Amino acid sequence: MAAIYDIRDPRFEALIHRSARLETLWTGGRWCEGPAYFPAGKYLIWSDIPNDRLMRWDETDGSVSVFQQPCLHQNGHAVDAQGRLVACEHRGRAVSRIEHDGSRRVLADRAGGQRLNSPNDVVVKSDGSIWFSDPTYGIDSDYEGDRAESEIGASHVYRIAPDGTATSVVTDLLKPNGLAFSPDETLLYVADTGWTHHRSCRPKIRAYPVQADGMSVGTGRDFAFCDTGLFDGFRVDTQGNLWSSAGDGVHCYAPDGTLLGKILVEEVVANLTFGGPKRNRLFLCATSSLRAIYVNATGSA
């Protein structure tokens, strides 16, 4: 069996289990994205964007079924403190939430009176505010949404306040994509996949200090550059290590930005999340498949 770990720093040894295998839980998607784990229900939801469907993996028996189709070409997801699914809709050009009664509620579809591009990924902060990225991938073509012109003319990260107002918080990226907070929420990490449109834009993750008001960020800095493919979605563990999707699998970075190691996957990984009752199992959305591997780390909220 080919090695699945590429260890670049001794610290990575403590974050993995040498004997843990990379499991394929399901295959058959066109482009899988947006995993979200629901501990109370023991299941995981993810997107198969070009097929306009949400899939559901049942932890109790390993079965996989279609959760919703069509689904407005949803992409990234998060689970809020009340256990509700928060969704980025390409075709809806909105961030929405599934309420406990199953109804869909639009949380934001405009900024400054203009329609959003196509929300891509989302995170819920501990204060209940919702932060999301809004690049153009869902309106660039008819493959993952409906082709349309951008009304805003730029791609930002926004924060949805409790009153529903969406305010831009990060405006210096070409195509903001995955995002996550550090465990203490003093840093906001955001991936830039602008390379897809401008080859001079190096694939990277930037780190922004969250201001004392908790509602805005200061000047960002480059945190890490991707050496293979692009950083898309990522998560942070309780020790502050950042686990990111990349072209050759998963890259793990220390809080200081050092590449600790990789988990090699033969398909491009677009997103990941921690799940399982102990939040120590990484679920990967890898192009056509859903993969999982146990690690010696615990996902941050």
What does the binding site for Mg ion look like in residue numbers (CB under 5 A)? 120-121, 177, 232-233
Query: 108 vs 180, which CB is nearer to Mg ion?
Result: 180
Nearest approach, Cβ of residue 113 and Mg ion (Å):
26
> How far apart are alpha carbons 296 and 301 in whole angstroms?
16
Q: Which amino acid is at 287?
A: T
Query: 77 vs 97, which CB is nearer to Mg ion?
Result: 77
Nearest approach, Cβ of residue 281 and Mg ion (Å):
21
Query: 34 vs 220, which CB is nearer to Mg ion?
Result: 34
Q: Which amino acid is at 24?
A: T
- Residues whose CB is less than 8 angstroms from the CB of residue 166 and which lie 6 or more positions away in sequence, other chains included: 108, 110, 111, 116, 158, 159, 160
Nearest approach, Cβ of residue 251 and Mg ion (Å):
15
Query: 133 vs 300, which CB is nearer to Mg ion?
Result: 133
Residue 6 CB coordination number (10 Å): 16
Nearest approach, Cβ of residue 11 and Mg ion (Å):
27
Q: Rg of the chain over CA atoms, in angstroms? A: 18
Query: 125 vs 175, which CB is nearer to Mg ion?
Result: 175
Identify the helix (H) or strand (E) that includes residue 205: strand 204-209
Query: 49 vs 260, which CB is nearer to Mg ion?
Result: 49
Query: 35 vs 299, which CB is nearer to Mg ion?
Result: 35
The DSSP code for 201 is: S
245-279 exposure pattern, b = at least 16 Cβ within 10 A, e = fewer: bbbbbbbbbbeeeebbbbbbbebbbbbbbbbbeeb
Distances (CA, A) of 66 to 47, 56, 276: 10, 6, 20
Nearest approach, Cβ of residue 177 and Mg ion (Å):
4
- Residues whose CB is less than 8 angstroms from the CB of residue 278 and which lie 6 or more positions away in sequence, other chains included: 298
Nearest approach, Cβ of residue 99 and Mg ion (Å):
24
Nearest approach, Cβ of residue 14 and Mg ion (Å):
29
Nearest to 103 by CA among 79, 129, 85: 85
Alpha helices in the chain, H assignment, sequence order? none
Region of residue 33 (left: phi > 0; alpha: psi -120 to 50; beta: else): beta
Nearest approach, Cβ of residue 213 and Mg ion (Å):
27
Of the CA atoms within 13 Å of residue 209, those in its CB half-sphere come to 4
Query: 120 vs 300, which CB is nearer to Mg ion?
Result: 120
